[in-house]
Chains A and B, each alone.
Chain A
Amino acid sequence: QKEVEQNSGPLSVPEGAIASLNCTYSDRGSQSFFWYRQYSGKSPELIMFIYSNGDKEDGRFTAQLNKASQYVSLLIRDSQPSDSATYLCAVSGFQKLVFGTGTRLLVSP
């Protein structure tokens, strides 16, 4: 079992729709959870992080964390073609940060 798992996609959504990206992790001791966006040929850029169970909103983005289910998700509201990228989930434990392989999102006009 991989430490951090994501569906590779592609996840295709129409412009204006909500995109839902999911991530599961295996280490129950994980403390922090990060979402990065990576455009093709570019380096990952941080979108947001979440530490506590529940939802955290930042603009069009909402991160959701459920530690009991070892599940973290990212919702993108009003998806735009410019959101088309690979989204990486990263999970942090004791002196360790593990990345998932990413989900490719395609937003069609």
Chain B
Amino acid sequence: TQLLEQSPQFLSIQEGENLTVYCNSSSVFSSLQWYRQEPGEGPVLLVTVVTGGEVKKLKRLTFQFGDARKDSSLHITAAQTGDTGLYLCAGRIIQGAQKLVFGQGTRLTINP
């Protein structure tokens, strides 16, 4: 059983379109992070959210943490081919816990 469920698992869209990726759990997270991973490389940290309802923007990427801190979303505006990659959400279930629990990832392909 996956503690963090990401949807969709695969998404292929045209350049210029908007998209949203979801990360859901029945558990409350003390913090949640989004990473992007290229094939054959390690995950690269994009953002950390810690407060329920928090919204963070990173250029065309908007990250939101649910009010109850059980879910998060990543919205990309006007997707570009360079956004292609595996997007992973990861969180800490227990305050002060060190290990991250990861979702299975959303593989995003942006077609020119």
Are A and B subunits of one complex? no
